[in-house]
Copies of this chain bind each other. A is one copy, B any other.
Amino acid sequence: MPDTPLPDIAAVLDRLDADREGALERLFALLRLKSVSTDPAYAEECRRAADWLLDDLRAIGFDARLVETEGHPLVIGHGGPEGGPHVLFYGHYDVQPVDPLELWETDPFEPRIAGLPDGRQAITARGASDDKGQVMTFLEACRAWKAATGSLPCRVTVLLEGEEESGGESLTAYLAGQPEELKAADVALVCDTGMWDPETPAITTQLRGNVTQQVTVTGPSRDLHSGLYGGAAANPIHELTRALAALRDAAGRITLPGFYDGVPELPEELRAQWEGLGFEPGDFLGAVGLSSPAGEQGRSALEQLWSRPTAEINGIWGGYTGAGFKTVIPAEAHAKVSFRLVGEQDPQAVRAAFQAHMRAAIDPQCGVAFTDFGAGKPISMPIEAPEFAKARQALTDEWGREAAFIGSGGSIPVVGQFKRQLGLDSLLIGFGQDDDRIHSPNEKYDLTSFHGGARSWARVLAALAG
């Protein structure tokens, strides 16, 4: 490993500008791999994505390998000069399912460039934004550093997982061992977040946690004719809907006992800064066909999105759902339910309160069963740490606008795990846009996000190396 050359950021940025086509070709190759981690049918495609990233890290010069797990493999690579600053970059190569497939305008796994109504150019494909496009902004920055200067500006460890969209158990198990190769870093860089708007970069400084589970209510031993049994026979769909409806009161507050324990009021300075962002709820919701905030009454839309907990029914099914009509009382009904958590809320306590609520609300002659999926604690970053100022300046230099410190309604459980298991704070820097449609049909990633993101990472690495 050569000594670190003096950072020559201009040469690195020129290199990125010169290699835009090559960068797009590499991203497209990764996007063509159908790495849907929640569906066992795509396990082999997940491995292909891990192998592709392994090869690419090695091509850049990383000392990289796959770490086998009970699920999809981790990809870990080390590069750059030892002894100095050391960053740990995290991303994931798995993607969300694509259904409903019929709503995609083009093949979700055949990426292409499309123009947006406002003139922006974007890459359309499942994973274009979440998270393959974001991951590649960082790898392209590393590639350009190597090409332009012969080395990375500082020690870089890359950690990529394949289960971010399906609970992340394998990474959780790996981090539980507090591996030295990761603990050695000074700070983590986590890329699957967004910009404030297409012109304004951002560092996300607080994240909601989450709890996800599936609940199944069982009633009759078989589907019943609702005429012959209706009225006397317990209907699992009734039980499920009544119990789920009771999760929220008329004011939009979640009714679980103790749910709001550890939910802090928004600090005045942060409230002031958020109000300064000029967020327009009507525009934000209008862009997705809605008009008014539907959450807790008396809370601003940004609070509802960033600093207040939620309960959501993400899926529900039971009984006859086909063509025509079938007068059936079904044997069972199901729902997928998630909570977003903030402050000091405890995911396990919320999970326990939810299960207790459902068991108490359901007719005792019916059965209630739960399947746990992932959970993550909410987290807030120490924005006074020097890395935050350095990264913020680097982003501001690239985009010509003051980078914003923002919150996020999303949950990135790994950030809390990095803190607890590795003692690392995370710099949440990403280049997604609100209209990227992640987790939805026609997911896209702006070309300006992709190229500007790579240039941004080149600058952030230089800043953190200094």
Q: Which residues of A contact B (CB under 8 A)?
A: 37-40, 96-97, 99-100, 103, 165-167, 208, 210, 212, 214, 219-235, 237-238, 240-242, 244-246, 248, 281, 284-285, 288-296, 301, 304-305, 308-310, 312-331, 333-336, 338, 340, 363, 365, 373-374, 408-411, 434, 437-442
Contacts and interface: CB of A to CB of B under 8 A. Distances in A.
Nearest to A412: B227
A44 to B, nearest CB: 16
B308 A222 contact: no
A165 B242 CA distance: 28
Nearest to A207: B227
A276 to B, nearest CB: 19
Given A97-B322, A325-B374, A284 B232 contact: yes
B336 A409 contact: no
Given A231-B295, A232-B295, A338 B327 contact: yes
A97 B320 CA distance: 9
Contacts of A304: 231-232
A165 to B, nearest CB: 8
B210 A323 contact: no
A329 B312 contact: yes
Nearest to A437: B222
Contact of A229 (B228, B244, B288): B288
A449 to B, nearest CB: 15
Given A244-B241, A294-B232, A314 B38 contact: no
Contacts of A365: 290-292, 294
Given A226-B312, A234-B290, A316-B321, 10 more contacts: A37-B324, A96-B326, A208-B227, A214-B325, A225-B439, A230-B409, A233-B288, A291-B365, A314-B330, A317-B318
Contacts of A220: 288-290
A228 B242 CA distance: 27
A409 B227 contact: yes
Nearest to A166: B324
Contacts of A296: 231
A124 to B, nearest CB: 14
Contacts of A224: 288, 439-440
A288 B228 contact: no
Nearest to A287: B221
A224 to B, nearest CB: 6
B227 A408 contact: yes
Nearest to A293: B232
The 4 closest A-B pairs by CB, nearest first: A38-B324, A221-B289, A227-B410, A315-B319
A323 B40 contact: yes
A253 to B, nearest CB: 11
A365 B291 CA distance: 6
Contacts of A310: 226, 230-231
A373 B324 contact: yes
A122 to B, nearest CB: 15
Nearest to A318: B316
Contacts of A103: 222
A130 B244 CA distance: 35
Nearest to A363: B294
A241 B440 CA distance: 23
B321 A317 contact: yes
Contacts of A313: 235, 237-238, 241, 319
A259 to B, nearest CB: 14
Given A38-B325, A327-B338, A333 B316 contact: yes
A290 B237 contact: no
Contact of A225 (B40, B315, B440): B440
